[in-house]
Amino acid sequence: MKKFMVVTGLAGLMTLTACGDDNASGGGNGDGGGGEDLMHSHISGPTASGWYPLSTLLSDIWMDDLEGSNITVVEGGAIGNIRDVNDGSEMLTGMAFASDFADAKEGRGSFEDDPQDDLMGMAVLYPTLWNFAVLDSSPYESIEDALENGADIIPGEANDASSQTAVRVFEAMGYTIEDIENNGGSVTYNNYGDANNQMRDGNIDMVVQGGSPYVTGLSELDTTNPIRPLDIPQDALDNLEEAGFGYTTDLSIPSGSYANQEEDVNTVTTMAMLVVNKDMDEDTVYELTKALWENVDRFVEEQPNRGEYFDLEIGYHELVDAEENMHPGAKRYYEEIGVAE
């Protein structure tokens, strides 16, 4: 197994210097790069998100299995993570959404005319279900009702995965942001915590947030101010499927995810995944991928809401154009265990 020497700099980044054979060097693409240094941290989500504890567990597993490593988890966000890992100067692995990955490779959505050519996949992990939620006391009985009748909405941060998903869902239902505003409503942008506080205080009517299956912050709000997730209409889900955005459209928020939720709620789902810079050493990515999948039991035990979904077939085949977009080091592992040909 390759060994990593680590130096943590003032910025909290890591210099990973591979030891052993030449092909284990940090630089290059597995062709015997010759021992160049890598600046590498793993970029995740905000500390209040589900990605952060998951990434912390992942880094613990990597450090346990890769002798001498010391991997630092850095806060980030879905769209920014993709750009940072694609850049490759500091972050070489990170969390992302499969739908954003598909956009990044195609140069569309948040990456319009800016394809991220140095981005590759390592593993698709679990579904993130988008919660279009109101307080249970809200007069709005459906998303359409809210859009037609002046709801004030915070769909997450501007230009991030949740707000992009919200806009696409609204458009799949036949509404633009301008339509919502013309109907007396508003769409503003803020983080999950502030959005939930504003909904609790009656300043807004609806939030859009991702969880597996529930959102931690919404679950906390639910204990004092019960919340209600709203169905996405089936025709809108069909439109999203046809659009090829990389969403999964056949999963639901299970009944009981929130206190007063008695039925499953249809929604759109984005698969969370690990991305990696294409120039990260092939042997290194192989070892990281192997350590991930050989420790699934730890994810099931310590992160059950997410770990229970981890599956090798999904890990490879749910990546868009996996044959082309999976990093060679990761692909070698999937081929070795018979998941990929």
Q: What is the CATH number of the domain that holds 115?
A: 3.40.190.10
- pLDDT, greater one: 71 or 167: 167
Count structural domains, the chain.
Answer: 2
* Position 192, amino acid: Y
Per the structure, the complete domain to which residue 240 belongs is given by 129-270
The structure tokens listed for 166 are 């919200």
- pTM of the full predicted structure? 0.75
Kindly indicate the confidence band of residue 111, based on its pLDDT and cuts at 50, 70 and 90: very high
Check pLDDT > 60 for residue 202: yes
Same domain, 229 and 301: no
Least-confidence region, from 2-16, 115-129, 244-258, 266-280: 2-16
- For 32-62, write each residue's pLDDT tens digit: 333 233 347 899 987 767 899 999 999 999 9
| Domain co-membership, 226 together with 303 | no
- CB of 189 within 8 A of CB of 158? yes
CB 80: neighbour CB atoms within 10 A? 18
Residues 30 and 113 in one domain: yes
Task: Enumerate residues 6+ apart whose C-beta is below 8 A from 134.
Answer: 140, 146, 151, 199, 205, 206, 227, 228, 230
User: Which of 224, 251, 270 is where one domain is finished?
Assistant: 270
